[in-house]
Amino acid sequence: MASATPQAWPRAALWQRLADTTSAGQAFDLAVIGGGATGLGVALDATVRGFKVLLADSHDFAEGTSSRATKLAHGGVRYLAQGDIGLVREALHERGAMLANAPHVAQRLGFVMPAYQWWERGFYGLGLKAYDALSGSQGLGGTRWLSAQQAQAQLPGLRRQGPQGVLQGGVMYWDGQFDDARLALLLARTALARGALVLNHAPVTALLHEHGQVRGLVLRDGETGAEHRVAARCVVNATGVWVDGVRALDQPTEAGAAGAAGAAPQTPLVAPSQGVHLVVDRAFLPGSQALLVPKTADGRVLFAVPWYGKTVLGTTDTPRKDLAREPEPMAAEVDFILREAGRYLARAPQRADVRSVWVGLRPLVKPQAVAAAAATGAAAGASTQALSREHTVLISASGLVTVTGGKWTTYRAMAEDVLQQAMTRGLLPPRPGGATARLSLLGAAPGRPLAEPPGEHIYGSEAAALRALPGAERWLWRDAESGRGGLSEAMVRFAARYELARTVGDVLARRSRVLFLDAAAAAELAASVADILTEELGRAVDTTAFTALAAKYRRLP
Ligand SMILES: Cc1cc2nc3c(=O)[nH]c(=O)nc-3n(C[C@H](O)[C@H](O)[C@H](O)COP(=O)(O)OP(=O)(O)OC[C@H]3O[C@@H](n4cnc5c(N)ncnc54)[C@H](O)[C@@H]3O)c2cc1C
């Protein structure tokens, strides 16, 4: 494997680039608000097409929903059951692209669906054969029927006596698994390396309008408080569940004026739905395959997935009214996950076994709201379900392009759709796309299974550069069960120099995933990480906010 030399991105230099652009009176072709999967995908696609691109996230890249997924690159067996063939086929195609472009952080994973009733093996097996067929040339391996003995050999943690009787067998199929936050970082860094200006900790506070059209935005440096008025010919609102807040800024006033938040009420586009994950030790699901329960007692889907040396259990789908940055799990959700996992795992996990709990908000789109917006002159795609899991692109009368919904797996296809619609509307000049379908992200090199504890392997071809940094052998944290992998001093330095990390949370939640794997361990690491960051960034880095956050990830309701 050829080793790659990462590029350093000092924050001051990036903001200087912004200041130089604005003081020269230059405009960006495209300004993207939001640095989750959706916004980063749009920024990279546009950059590869040769556009001059700015992306800003108010917090860190993927700090919203995009670091809290179940981490499955999948077509969605559940959507197949609902007959959503188009969504499944597209996602399976995109799954192939993700695994090819970032093999160090996205890989195939075997899933076992256990059967405790005589008809389940055949019924689910046929459905999964159809899933294979839909993936076409992007298939990751054939579905096969398992005897009871084979099912237990694949999933040593599986109960022999299940909820509806004795284990009859199972079905094994293949899907993808990835590290969501690290994939987001790779998108950000690949876009930077190709010329985009990509900023974290940079909230957009207003939109600029000229003659009723969006012509830029106001960006605040989240560290210094300095405000910048940035001109852009096209602005994309990719703020996930927060899109309605940015849509509220889209109120044209007089020429050149900034739109004020909440100037006029709009029908909210997004109905957030929360999903909880619990992390327990690998001992609950030994082996390297995942468990899929196709139908829980109340008809939902439940996963138990080996990830970075632990087991991720989830998830739920609970409507929520607020848009909290750190939504809290509900007691009923935690009880549901533990109860259902205990019906299938030989060792039933208890509350005391949970090492981390994290919650994400799905941006489900209300088709009625899309219709209402279309009635006011916005261009929009149609949808028929009560709440759509497909993505929606909406272009307001003033030209603000809003994109939300969809899945992590389909971020690339969503980006192509956004650019196509922006070009069709004349917001950007036409330029051919498709190049991101086979675009290796930084460090791309075949990696070890993501079921193993995190280690140097997730740095791909940049691992040699990581090892060359001070502290490559100084392990701050080791995965306790395996004694391998973990977080080294060099990884923290790498995060600060090459991966735009600014806070303890940036390191422990997203560059490394310790917070998601073991919140107590993450809390203990905070001071050491802050010391290394202080040295690397040349300014005091404090632990207060992270310590409070880690306590949240440890606490069950
Ligand atoms: C529980 C759960 C499990 C999931 N599991 C999977 C899975 O296994 N596989 C899969 O494919 N998909 C999965 N998904 C879906 C997937 O995670 C989301 O579709 C995707 O992450 C949404 O990305 P996004 O960029 O649209 O939103 P986000 O990741 O939330 O990004 C929006 C960004 O906008 C920023 N922002 C907000 N306001 C402003 C502002 N004013 N200025 C600047 N920035 C701003 C936020 O800080 C945030 O980073 C899951 C979702 C949930 C909730």
Q: What's the 36 CA to ligand 1 centre distance in angstroms?
A: 5
**Is the pLDDT higher at 14 or at 484?**
14
In this prediction, residue 261 carries a pLDDT of 45
Confidence of residue 265 (pLDDT cuts 50, 70, 90): low
**What is the number of other CB atoms lying within 10 angstroms of the CB of residue 287?**
18
Is residue 136 within 8 A of residue 90, CB to CB? The reply is no
| Mutational test site, ligand 1, from 105, 242, 401, max ligand atoms within 8 Å of CB | 242
* Residue found by looking up tokens 């210094």 in the block: 224
Q: Whose CA is nearest to atom 6 of ligand 1?
A: 69
- Atom 50, ligand 1: which residue's CA is nearest? 69
Where do runs of H (alpha helix) occur along 461-518?
A: 463-467, 489-498, 504-505, 514-517
Q: Which of 281, 283, 282, 251 is nearest to 266 (CA)?
A: 251
| Closest of 98, 58, 57, 52 to residue 75, by C-alpha | 98
According to the model, what pLDDT value does residue 239 have? 98
**Predicted confidence (pLDDT) at residue 42 exceeds the cutoff of 60:** yes
Specify the residue for token string 């004694």: 483
Q: What pLDDT score was predicted for residue 518?
A: 97
Angle at 340 between CA 335 and CA 343, to 5 degrees: 130
- The mean pLDDT value for 247-269 works out to 67
For ligand 1, the distance from its centroid to the CA atom of residue 556, given in whole angstroms, is 23
**Predicted confidence band of residue 213 (pLDDT cuts 50, 70, 90):** very high
Task: Render pLDDT for 500-532 as a digit per residue (tens, 0 to 9).
Answer: 999 999 999 999 999 999 999 999 999 999 999
How far is ligand 1, taken at its centre, from the CA of residue 206, in Å?
21
Q: What is the CB < 6 Å shell around ligand 1?
A: 33-39, 56-59, 62-66, 68-72, 203-204, 238-240, 242, 246, 275, 315, 360-363, 404, 406-409
- By alpha-carbon position, which residue is closest to atom 14 of ligand 1? 69
The pTM of the whole model exceeds 0.95: yes
Distance 117 CA to ligand 1 centre (A): 37
Which residues make Cβ contacts (< 8 Å) with residue 421, sequence separation at least 6? Answer: 379, 393, 395, 401
Residue 538 Ramachandran class (φ > 0 left, ψ -120 to 50 alpha, else beta): left
Kindly report, residue by residue over 347-373, the tens digit of the pLDDT: 999 999 999 999 999 999 988 888 777
In the predicted model, is pLDDT for residue 163 greater than 60? yes
Distance, CA of 516 to CA of 521 (rounded, Å): 10
Q: Residue 480 in contact with residue 421, Cβ under 8 Å?
A: no
Q: Are strands 53-56 and 213-220 parallel, antiparallel or unpaired?
A: unpaired
Residue pair 443/4 in contact (Cβ under 8 Å)? The answer is: yes
Share of the chain above pLDDT 70, in %: 96
Residues 6+ away with beta carbon under 8 Å from 83: none
